[in-house]
Amino acid sequence: MTLPPLITFKDLSKSYGRGEATIRALDKINLSITSGEFVAIMGPSGSGKSTAMNIIGGLDVPTSGEYLFQGIPTSAFDRSQLTLLRRHMLGFVFQGFNLLARTSAVENVELPLVYRGMEQRERRRRALLALEQVGLAGRENHTTQELSGGQQQRVAIARAIVTDPAVLLADEPTGNLDTKTSVEIMDLITRLNRENGITVIMVTHEEDIAAYGKRLLRFVDGHLASDELQNAEAEHVL
């Protein structure tokens, strides 16, 4: 039996405002993403790429058309069901890290498990394992203020994967990092995709960062202008 795509857009549109002030952020997008893919999304400001990411993440809903997750139409989901989708199936990594400033790395990583109601010993075990996966074993008790930008992004990635999500949504994950650290973070995300099988969907405005994806989507004026496979197997070096 063939499994449905992990993510599907069917004639999906998103508009903001009314009448002459209406802005069509997405216009009848058709798109499928299968489990295990690494998809990079690019486009100029106002192209619709961030709106598409927000809809995939359950942070926004389409005006028309359909968004299906594992073949299930999300239009039938109420707010609590969308929350459960985000909590159990999706992991988020942001440009600004979004960590609690005076809280230890391990406590930051535990946070999604607290929302799940997991008991303290088990969530600590999982958080330490996630930190080890991202190369931060030994830094678990350091606060955010005691970590470099690259280390903070590693904590954010550990927090995103601690719930074993089906999808990692990365919004400009290297936007606040220098070139060397950006390469380290992208190598980490690539490894998580390749070795752990996590589906990665990443928005970026940098061509060299987009090159890590195995597939590149370009949005222009609310339309999916191109959808191309690309060779992301070569080693990325400075």
pLDDT per position as a tens digit, 167-219: 999 999 999 899 999 999 999 999 999 999 999 999 999 999 999 999 999 99
**pLDDT 10s digits, 31-70:** 999 999 999 999 999 999 999 999 999 999 999 999 999 9
Q: Rounded to an integer, what distance in angstroms lies between the CA atom of residue 180 and that of residue 160?
A: 22
Query: pLDDT category, 95, cuts 50, 70, 90?
Result: confident
Q: What is the pTM of this model?
A: 0.92
Compute the average pLDDT of residues 78-99: 91
CA nearest to 195, candidates 237, 135, 133, 152: 133
pLDDT at 137 > cutoff 90:
yes
- The confidence score (pLDDT) of residue 232 equals 57
Query: pLDDT category, 235, cuts 50, 70, 90?
Result: very low
Side by side, the strands of the sheet bearing 72-73 are 23-33, 7-16, 64-69, 72-73
Query: pLDDT category, 18, cuts 50, 70, 90?
Result: confident
